[in-house]
Amino acid sequence: MTETSSVATSEGLPLSATDRTRLRRMRENGRSGRADLNAVLAAGFLCHLGVSVDGVPMVVPTVYGADADTLYLHGSVASRSLVASPEATVCVTVTHVDGLVLARSVFEHSVNYRCAMIYGVPRVVTDPEEKLEGLRLLTEQAAPGQWDYARRPNRKELAATTLLALALDEASVKISAGPPDDGEGPDAALGLWAGELPLLTGWGSPVPDPALPAGIPVPEHIAARRTT
Amino acid sequence: MTETSSVATSEGLPLSATDRTRLRRMRENGRSGRADLNAVLAAGFLCHLGVSVDGVPMVVPTVYGADADTLYLHGSVASRSLVASPEATVCVTVTHVDGLVLARSVFEHSVNYRCAMIYGVPRVVTDPEEKLEGLRLLTEQAAPGQWDYARRPNRKELAATTLLALALDEASVKISAGPPDDGEGPDAALGLWAGELPLLTGWGSPVPDPALPAGIPVPEHIAARRTT
């Protein structure tokens, strides 16, 4: 079962995402597309940012944060290409793999996943207030509670950080879930097991910095994340 | 601690990958770079493929497999752009997130990860024998044992599958691991907890297809993957 928000549904092949020609403006697509996008963004903190460098795509992993309208990205690497081509469109992709779809035939094997693709011309954030807020969103996305717990960036550190802002205007979400598709066809008679193998992710036990003095407890907002 | 194979080391910012100008041909860099690349590829099955579509980067998740020299990709989406620009270079990025680096200062927060970036001009695989072998590698990468267990692709299915081959010639590997960097500086006196929060991934319990008749056991090669 493959579902696509705010784009035409594409079927059948593992992890084929939508191409840009079928994208729609999110704002024209009402709540459901926007809610799907928000859910995919909320479920992670890492994206793959695609920029064009001398006409060649470069795909780099980076961390993000988001508010209702804007995606903020740590843009250290991309910033050089953005300076070279300030009006260039980038593509940001966030993917969560939920499991393998193990079918009776190899051809029907696929991956269950949730994926958001966002296109836009990013802007380097220069306003100190927006930069601080963007870094807060980015920090809280990956490590909720750390913005209030850790020492916040000072002026020098702010200046040394490249933050990119991308409007959440042009995006698509694609979700693939459910069992294999060959439970009804001729391959069902093969007598083979078929189903899903879930991929689980979770947080382990915090590992203290070896330089940490004795007696400093793991704060509750970190300890509480442990899922295993 | 950030380590980069076959590229100059870049420090300090979360998940900043190398840019292409610092890449070296893997083959000129001896065993250690190649071993690092193989290890990162072996640890996953999903990559983000960056292609240029009308000059705009498109980043799509897709599955891969590899032998010693070649990366094979499921290329359904990218194939259109490749037909339009058959000599275009693509970028394939494989990223594993190992955990969060929770420092005393927000500025020193980062992500521990392993990342491989591969550049090249992909080729659409047309030889049936190579296509079958590429699909075997791709299937076994995600679901070891399924190539021998499930029904293999027939001629029609093979023709309906787009497989891309990319030489493992030009690549870089970047590995970031270890505790935060601010254990020795002035922030160490803040008395804050600091350390790593590991991100764990594993396979859950197989979920049988609802269409599966009773009495078909989960094969051992699937059941044995369970890690939780």
E strand or H helix that includes residue A81: helix A78-84
Q: Do B212 and A195 touch (CB under 8 A)?
A: yes
A8/B64: higher pLDDT: B64
A77 has a pLDDT exceeding 80: no
A11 has a pLDDT exceeding 60: no
Find residue A48's DSSP bridge partners. Answer: A61, A93
Q: What is the per-residue pLDDT for A2?
A: 55
pLDDT band, residue B44 (cuts 50/70/90) = very high
Instruction: Print the SS3 string covering A6-47.
Output: CCCCCCCCCCCCCCHHHCEEHHHHHHHHHHHHHHHHHCCCEE
Task: Report how many Cβ contacts below 8 Å link chain A to chain B.
Answer: 333
This complex has an ipTM of 0.89
Q: Side chain identity at A24, as an amino acid letter?
A: R
Q: Do B203 and A210 touch (CB under 8 A)?
A: no
A128 has a pLDDT exceeding 60: yes
Q: Which residues of A touch B95 (CB under 8 A)?
A: 46, 48, 61
Q: Do B192 and A149 touch (CB under 8 A)?
A: yes
A77/B158: higher pLDDT: B158
- The tens digit of pLDDT for each residue in B3-13 reads 554 432 233 22
B29 has a pLDDT exceeding 70: no
Q: Do A197 and B204 touch (CB under 8 A)?
A: yes
In sequence order, the 6+-apart residues with CB closer than 8 A to the CB of A186 are none
Lowest mean pLDDT among A31-35, A43-47, A206-210, B173-177: A31-35
Lowest mean pLDDT among A6-15, A97-106, A114-123, B76-85: A6-15
pLDDT band, residue A32 (cuts 50/70/90) = low
Q: Could you tell me if B196 lies within 8 Å of chain A, comparing CB atoms?
A: yes
Does CATH place domain A2-223 in 2.30.110.10? yes
Instruction: Please give the average per-residue pLDDT across A129-152, as a whole number.
Output: 97
Q: Could you tell me if B201 lies within 8 Å of chain A, comparing CB atoms?
A: yes
> Into which CATH architecture does domain B2-184+191-202 fall?
Roll (2.30)
Q: Could you tell me if A79 lies within 8 Å of chain B, comparing CB atoms?
A: no
B17 has a pLDDT exceeding 90: no
A26 has a pLDDT exceeding 60: no
Q: Which residues of A touch B183 (CB under 8 A)?
A: 209-212
Vertex B67: Cα angle to B135 and B1 (nearest 5) = 120
Residue of B17, B58, B152 with shortest CB distance to A20? B58
B87 has a pLDDT exceeding 90: no
Instruction: Please give the model's pTM, rounded to 2 decimal places.
Output: 0.89
- The tens digit of pLDDT for each residue in A174-204 reads 999 999 999 998 999 999 999 999 999 999 9
In sequence order, the 6+-apart residues with CB closer than 8 A to the CB of A84 are A53
Lowest mean pLDDT among A18-32, B28-42, B164-178: A18-32
